[in-house]
Chains A and B, each alone.
Chain A
């Protein structure tokens, strides 16, 4: 079992709590209110900017050229995702530059940026992996339920796609390569997963 698989297995309880969260289930069956989705998209757009920056910082710190190139490519993947958000935000009439950043969002981006600036490439990969693996998992699980087309079908299609799965795997391979052995990675991984849960919860509460 790889380190990424171990971490995922160890914290699968929180991942499943996320999957069963009413926000996520509402994305799955299309019943989620537009107000909640609007809040989520606006916050997620801001979050993705920090996520892209964290990849870039991890890339700049990568001990070898191959690592730099892969992290650069992963950052490009986030830019693509961020562009999709811009499109969705425009459709929903959200001005992304006027969004107030929620506390759950801020807590997560502070953690990502503090880690990316202050820690090694490997630790940063561990902090970022829960997001990618969780979204791939949620996307694939919701797609399996095979709901009729609804407002959030495109969201499900994005995160259940083989391309997204590949990005998640790429990041997880970086964990294998760069993760330090003497650092408490377990807590880093779980904290990120907890931040994921709080992110959904905040959208559920704030968009109510």
Chain B
């Protein structure tokens, strides 16, 4: 089994639970409330915007051979922001600068990981997040019967280009893991799990319209069998 498959297998129940999230089910069957989807758009815009520095730090730490592709990812993120802006304009959504607790915490996690941990760990987090996007929107695309009001987003993350990029991430991650020492591989597992947890939380945040008065991560009860990170 390849390393990226090993990672996915290790979190399989949580991964499946994430894909079966009512937010995604509702997008697929067209029943998603406008307000709920707009919450997601606003927060995901901030998330993509805040992920650019994460990619920047990751690129600075990357082996030379990986820099062009990571630089390309930064460009793709900026293009994605354009898609958000266009969709926000089309659906009369005003951009808010107010981060939800989960969006804020997830971004701090990305930045802390990119700066503070070795490149391989940050790259694992990138793969986890992108794979989560691809699988989530692919699930929506394959289960929808009618075109969605939000089809532009569904198409964006299920395109051939995005699929190829996620495949490249998986292959590159396998290559990094092949030469990584066991403690590094163990840490990659931990960060993969943690990113998966945040991805779940992100749908949950949008679906429940999380506020700063909502219970935050301390009461995140999903991590049964999913241990948080090991000490530095």
Contacts and interface: CB of A to CB of B under 8 A. Distances in A.
A107 B216 contact: yes
Contacts of A49: 231-232
Interface string A30-57: 0000000000000000100110010000
Decide if the interface of chain A is mainly helix, strand, loop or mixed.
helix
Given A102-B218, A110-B109, A202-B218, A191 B104 contact: yes
A46 B151 CA distance: 45
Contacts of A101: 228-231
Contacts of B212: 194
A118 B229 CA distance: 21
Contacts of B220: 103
A99 B228 CA distance: 10
Contacts of B111: 110, 114, 117-118
B228 to A, nearest CB: 5
A206 B216 CA distance: 14
The size class of the interface chain B forms with chain A is 20 to 34
Nearest to B217: A103
B79 interface: no
B227 interface: yes
B229 to A, nearest CB: 5
A100 B227 CA distance: 7
Interface in A189-203: 191, 194, 198, 201-202
B63 to A, nearest CB: 21
Interface of A: 46, 49-50, 53, 96-97, 99-104, 106-107, 109-111, 113-115, 117-118, 191, 194, 198, 201-202, 205-206
28 contacts: A49-B231, A49-B232, A97-B231, A100-B227, A101-B228, A101-B230, A101-B231, A103-B218, A103-B228, A104-B216, A106-B109, A106-B194, A106-B217, A106-B229, A107-B108, A107-B217, A109-B112, A110-B105, A111-B112, A113-B112, A114-B111, A115-B108, A117-B112, A118-B111, A194-B212, A201-B218, A205-B219, A206-B218
Interface of B: 53, 104-105, 107-109, 111-113, 115-116, 194, 212, 216-220, 223, 227-232
